[in-house]
């Protein structure tokens, strides 16, 4: 059996693994990357972030074509099947794989395709590579294996009409009706995608409101627009059983309700990919959701072994995972650019999309912080009127006395882009991080960014009237 020596072994090639490998390589370390799939990119590229966002973009284009009167000069509204829309996502996925393969090649990282298993704290056995089993040794090992959908044992996910958020990408037809169980980020995103394709969706939420970590007003807006697109939202429900037959799926709820649909999509939680790693051989143990505990330098309790990305839990975002990987690499190479990732913007790609950073109104109220609100509604901005995307708003929360920005919340087209302007300002010091920045800065006109100036003026007017 071949044995290879490296400085760092990275298990997983998703955003977290990529960030760790690229950074450690640039610091002069010799890197081995182990990937369980047959191409780099991890679940982010093949099953999660990239395919779902590419799907969403295509569905948005379909909605615009079918609802914009201008396009009637071209032809009548069209119906598009899910498999046809999925082909566009597959092209994006292949482009991402090619891009990331080049990253590893340029940075001279050796990639091994196979299943990784710990032998000890400095040794990893890679099973099933093109050359058979191979052994890698290194001073440091970074676990970046990501996560997969949590699947309860009492639901038959082998049934052809029952899916999770990974297997739904193999859906070969477009159902007329669908039940989506779990109204978290992934569930809400897929509810938007399928309802945009004309599928009648029942969205089952185990809580009393959608995405309760969001600002209440933003959560309410999402609920309204999902319902406006014929999504039936059922709160405070839990499943009792899920039974599939040749014609559809029946969901029985503990409340006594029964719901029937052509297909069932499970979107309720994720599990870290730690089974099969042999964590017990290095004295590590994952929790009930397969997640590994780390300190604020992404170090596990086993010396020399780090863990980053979805496999450590919060915030389970590709953006944060990439930065966590870079941070772990900085720590093990004694780099000066280490930072603990704790300020992460939320990006939710529903239709319309949502993004936020900082405190919500509910949090500020609970903390007795004297805050005020500045709002700009997209329907009143020229750029939104021009683009035909009037739905949404920008909301700035700021301290009533110091005027420091406390939170940015955006709902509508390009929300995940717009929020970064506020994020940059929030990180400044002195008067540069107050709401006055937006009034004392000239924005291009017409732009969506101009909403910051409109919201700032509205907010300061509310303070002036006290």
Q: What is the Cα–Cα distance from 39 to 248, expressed in whole angstroms?
A: 34
Q: What is the Cα–Cα distance from 11 to 18, expressed in whole angstroms?
A: 10
Q: What is the mean pLDDT of the chain?
A: 94
Q: What is the pTM of this model?
A: 0.93
Average pLDDT of the segment spanning 83-96 = 89
Structure tokens at 244: 């599939």
Tally of CB atoms within 10 A around 261: 21
Structure tokens at 466: 């006290």
What letter does residue 351 receive in the DSSP assignment?
Answer: S
Task: Please tell me the predicted confidence (pLDDT) of residue 74.
Answer: 73
Under 8 Å between Cβ of 179 and 261: yes
Structure tokens at 318: 């590709």
Average pLDDT of the segment spanning 179-194 = 96
Under 8 Å between Cβ of 132 and 125: no
Task: Please tell me the predicted confidence (pLDDT) of residue 336.
Answer: 86
Q: Which helix (H) or strand (E) holds 242?
A: strand 239-244
**DSSP structure string for 174-220:** --SEEEEE--SHHHHHHHHHHHHTT-EEEEE-SSSSTTTTS-HHHHH
Task: Please tell me the predicted confidence (pLDDT) of residue 21.
Answer: 97
Task: Please tell me the predicted confidence (pLDDT) of residue 466.
Answer: 56
Q: What is the Cα–Cα distance from 223 to 64, expressed in whole angstroms?
A: 21
Tally of CB atoms within 10 A around 134: 20
Question: Which residue(s) pair with 191 in the sheet?
Answer: none
In this structure, is the dihedral angle defined by the CA atoms of residues 82, 384, 229 and 167, taken in order, positive or negative?
positive
Average pLDDT of the segment spanning 88-115 = 94
Under 8 Å between Cβ of 135 and 4: yes
Backbone angles phi, psi at 203, to 5 degrees: -105, 115
Half-sphere CA count of 186, side-chain side, radius 13 A: 25
Give Cα 409 distance to the centre of its chain: 17
Give the percent of the chain with pLDDT over 70: 99
Task: Please tell me the predicted confidence (pLDDT) of residue 393.
Answer: 97
Q: What is the Cα–Cα distance from 137 to 125, expressed in whole angstroms?
A: 9
Backbone angles phi, psi at 258, to 5 degrees: -125, 135
pLDDT of 73 > 80? The answer is no
Task: Please tell me the predicted confidence (pLDDT) of residue 187.
Answer: 97
Q: What is the Cα–Cα distance from 58 to 139, expressed in whole angstroms?
A: 45
- Domains of the chain are 3-149+271-332 (3.50.50.60), 162-268 (3.50.50.60), 352-464 (3.30.390.30)
Under 8 Å between Cβ of 71 and 65: yes
377-389: per-residue pLDDT in tens? 999 999 999 998 9
Q: What is the Cα–Cα distance from 62 to 56, expressed in whole angstroms?
A: 10
Place of tokens 């990239």: 50
Q: What is the CA radius of gyration of the chain?
A: 24
Under 8 Å between Cβ of 188 and 219: no
428-456: per-residue pLDDT in tens? 987 788 999 999 999 999 999 999 999 99
Task: Please tell me the predicted confidence (pLDDT) of residue 301.
Answer: 97
Question: What's the angle, vertex CA 193, arms to CA 192 and CA 195, rounded to 5?
Answer: 65
Q: Which helix (H) or strand (E) holds 11?
A: strand 8-11
pLDDT of 197 > 80? The answer is yes
Task: Please tell me the predicted confidence (pLDDT) of residue 465.
Answer: 64
Under 8 Å between Cβ of 289 and 151: no
Of 60, 47, 43, whose CA–CA distance to 352 is shortest? 60
Range scoring the smallest mean pLDDT among 82-91, 134-143, 189-198? 82-91
């Amino acid at each position: 059996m071949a044995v290879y020596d490296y400085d760092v072994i990275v298990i997983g090639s998703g955003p977290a693994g990529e960030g760790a490998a690229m950074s450690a390589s640039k610091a002069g370390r010799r890197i081995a990357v182990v990937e369980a799939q047959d191409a780099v990119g991890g679940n982010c590229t093949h099953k999660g972030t990239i395919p779902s966002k590419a799907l969403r973009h295509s569905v948005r284009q379909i909605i615009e074509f079918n609802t914009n009167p201008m396009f009637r000069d071209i032809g009548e509204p069209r119906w598009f099947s899910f498999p046809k829309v999925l082909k566009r996502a597959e092209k994006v996925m292949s482009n991402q794989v090619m891009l990331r393969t080049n990253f590893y090649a340029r940075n001279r990282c050796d990639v091994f395709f196979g299943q990784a298993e710990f032998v000890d704290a400095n040794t990893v056995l890679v099973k099933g590579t093109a050359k058979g089993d191979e052994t890698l040794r290194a001073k440091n090992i970074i676990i970046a294996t990501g996560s997969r959908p949590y699947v309860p044992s009492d639901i038959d996910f082998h049934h052809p009409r029952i899916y999770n958020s990974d297997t739904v990408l193999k859906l070969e037809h477009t159902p007329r009706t669908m039940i989506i169980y779990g109204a978290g980020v992934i569930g809400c995103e897929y509810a938007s995608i399928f309802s945009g394709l004309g599928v009648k969706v029942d969205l089952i939420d185990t809580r009393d409101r959608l995405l309760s970590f969001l600002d209440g007003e933003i959560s309410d807006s999402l609920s309204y627009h999902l319902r406006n697109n014929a999504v039936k939202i059922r709160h405070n429900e839990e499943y009792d059983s899920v039974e599939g037959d040749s014609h559809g799926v029946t969901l029985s709820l503990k409340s006594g309700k029964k719901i029937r649909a052509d297909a069932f999509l499970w979107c309720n939680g994720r599990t870290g990919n730690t089974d099969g790693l042999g964590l017990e051989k290095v004295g590590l143990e994952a929790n009930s959701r397969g997640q590994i505990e780390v300190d604020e330098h992404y170090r596990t309790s086993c010396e020399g072994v780090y863990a980053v990305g979805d496999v450590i839990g919060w915030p389970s975002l590709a953006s944060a995972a990439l930065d966590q990987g870079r941070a772990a690499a900085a720590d093990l190479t004694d780099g000066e650019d280490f930072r603990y990732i704790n300020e992460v913007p939320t990006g939710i790609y529903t239709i319309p999309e949502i993004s936020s950073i900082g405190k919500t109104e509910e949090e500020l109220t609970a903390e007795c912080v004297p805050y005020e609100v500045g709002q700009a509604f997209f329907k009143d901005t020229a750029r939104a009127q021009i683009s035909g995307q009037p739905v949404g708003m920008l909301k700035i929360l700021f301290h009533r006395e110091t005027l420091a920005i406390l939170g940015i919340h955006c709902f509508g087209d390009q929300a995940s882009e717009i929020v970064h302007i506020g994020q940059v300002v929030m990180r400044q010091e002195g008067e540069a991080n107050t709401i006055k920045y937006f009034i004392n800065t000239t924005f291009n006109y017409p732009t969506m960014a101009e909403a910051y100036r409109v919201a700032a003026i509205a907010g300061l007017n509310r303070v002036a009237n006290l």
